[in-house]
């Protein structure tokens, strides 16, 4: 049975479930942080990766049933509702037409379904993961990437929960020109952890995807993995990005994308941080806490120069 209140508890929000001692305990921030962070995170993540690939329809059905006891998983939009493995469910495709991308050329669409987290302006190379918790774009992007192009521009944090559609798409017409993969930790990225772990996004496994839009603007998408996220898949690279790839892995490429074209997926919930240079403004309705869908207007180009 779907249980939105239990989902809110596991995601670190303040709503309490109406019944169930275990769910009430998990709803408490201290215990939530303990259960999702003070554990062998990388070992659990690797184990989850192996488990999610076990091809057993019966085991998969049972696991999904247990999962739904905690999370309001909605498969009504899924292209298929029978899955060989848990990974197949995590990375499910949707029925054609389920996500329509805003076709206006001045609109930068959301690359994924998400809950909007921290948003703001990049100032002196600094952004925020939560109130009072700044981090440096230079550290997030890694030692080989120059983040100065985004000084004065917007950043938008998009959090994908475990129940959401996990694929992400090109936010506008353009060409992906470089990917830097940085291995790291697997802290939870829910609001509870973001309020307690400094520079969390800079610690976690992530990829820096640099893209030049048809408008000529250089943008960056930074998918950040988290606990139980086994890997990040980018379709335009013939490689699976996972915890075994240590260091800064540089992957130059030239991969044209049309707006809405699928770019890749997470194998669980996680985060994408969007960076754009000056000349963009937030689209109407984009604010911290808003729940949005892939294809919805996220930013709008106001300065074509």
Q: Tell me: the pLDDT tens digits for 111-170?
A: 999 999 999 999 999 999 988 899 999 999 998 999 999 999 999 999 998 889 999 999
Tell me the domain boundaries of the chain: 4-90, 107-301
66: which residues sit within 8 A by CB, 6+ positions away? none
**Active-site residue 270, yes or no?**
yes
CA distances from 305 to 76, 155, 182, 299, 301 (A): 43, 19, 32, 16, 10
Q: Partners of 251 in the beta sheet? A: 179
Please list, residue by residue across 209-239, b when 16 or more beta carbons sit within 10 angstroms of its beta carbon and e when fewer do.
bbbebebebbbbbbbbbbbbbbbbbbebbee
Tell me which of 5 and 196 has the higher pLDDT. Answer: 196
pTM over 0.75: yes
How confident is the model at residue 277, as a pLDDT?
Answer: 97
What does R_g of the chain's alpha carbons equal in angstroms?
Answer: 18
Mean pLDDT over 272-293 rounds to: 97
Is 113 tagged catalytic? yes
**CATH fold of the domain at 107-301:** Glucose Permease (Domain IIA) (2.70.70)
| Set 11, 88, 113, 185: catalytic member | 113
For position 72, what pLDDT does the model report?
82
* Residue, of 197 and 154, whose pLDDT is higher: 154
Contact 263, 169 (CB under 8 A): yes
In this structure, of 35-44, 66-75, 244-253, the range with the lowest mean pLDDT score is 35-44
Q: Is the pLDDT of residue 242 over 60?
A: no
pLDDT band at 238 (very low <50, low <70, confident <90, very high): confident
| Residue 36 pLDDT greater than 90, yes or no | no
- Most confident range (mean pLDDT) of 38-52, 147-161, 184-198 is 147-161
Q: Which of 52, 112, 162, 270 is catalytic?
A: 270
Question: In the prediction, which pLDDT does 51 show?
Answer: 80
Confidence class for position 5, pLDDT limits 50, 70, 90: very low
Question: How crowded is residue 160: how many other Cβ atoms within 10 Å of its Cβ?
Answer: 25
CA 258, CA 267: separation in Å to the nearest integer?
23
Q: Which residue, 286, 271, 111, 110, is CA-closest to 202?
A: 271
User: Cα dist. 10→16, 23, 224, 303 in Å?
Assistant: 10, 8, 19, 41
Name the region of 48 (left: φ>0; alpha: ψ -120 to 50; beta: rest): alpha
If you ran DSSP here, which 8-state letter would residue 76 be given? T
Q: What is the mean pLDDT of the chain?
A: 84
Sorting pLDDT into bands at 50, 70 and 90, what band is 21?
Answer: very low
Q: Give, for 90, the enclosing helix (H) or strand (E).
A: helix 86-90
Catalytic residue, chosen from 7, 112, 166, 169, is: 169
The pLDDT score that the predictor gives to residue 197 is 87
pLDDT value of position 15: 43
């Amino acid at each position: 049975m779907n249980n939105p209140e239990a989902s809110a508890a596991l995601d670190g929000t303040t709503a309490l479930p109406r019944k169930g001692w275990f769910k009430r305990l998990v709803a408490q921030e201290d215990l939530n942080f303990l259960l999702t962070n003070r554990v062998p995170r990388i070992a659990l993540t690797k184990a989850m990766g192996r488990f999610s690939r076990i091809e057993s329809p019966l085991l998969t059905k049972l696991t999904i049933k247990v999962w739904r006891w905690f999370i309001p998983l909605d498969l009504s939009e899924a292209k298929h509702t029978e899955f060989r493995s848990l990974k197949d469910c995590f990375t499910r495709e949707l029925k054609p037409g389920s996500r329509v991308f805003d076709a206006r050329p001045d609109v930068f669409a959301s690359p994924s379904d998400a809950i909007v987290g921290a948003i703001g302006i990049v100032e002196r190379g600094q952004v925020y993961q939560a109130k009072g918790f700044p981090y440096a774009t230079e550290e997030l992007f890694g030692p080989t990437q120059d983040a100065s192009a985004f000084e004065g521009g917007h950043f938008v944090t998009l959090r994908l929960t475990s129940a959401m559609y996990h694929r992400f798409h090109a936010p506008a017409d353009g060409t992906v020109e470089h990917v830097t993969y940085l291995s790291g930790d697997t802290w939870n990225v829910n609001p509870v952890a973001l309020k307690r772990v400094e520079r969390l996004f800079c610690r976690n496994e992530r990829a820096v995807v640099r893209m030049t839009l048809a408008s000529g603007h250089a943008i960056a998408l930074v998918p950040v993995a988290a606990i139980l996220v086994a890997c990040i898949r980018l379709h335009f690279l013939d490689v699976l990005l996972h915890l075994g790839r240590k260091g800064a892995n540089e992957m130059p490429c030239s991969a044209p994308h049309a707006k809405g074209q699928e770019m890749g997926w997470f194998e669980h919930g996680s985060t994408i941080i969007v960076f754009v240079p000056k000349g963009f403004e937030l689209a109407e309705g984009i604010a911290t806490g808003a729940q949005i869908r892939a294809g919805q207007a996220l930013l709008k180009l106001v300065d074509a120069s």
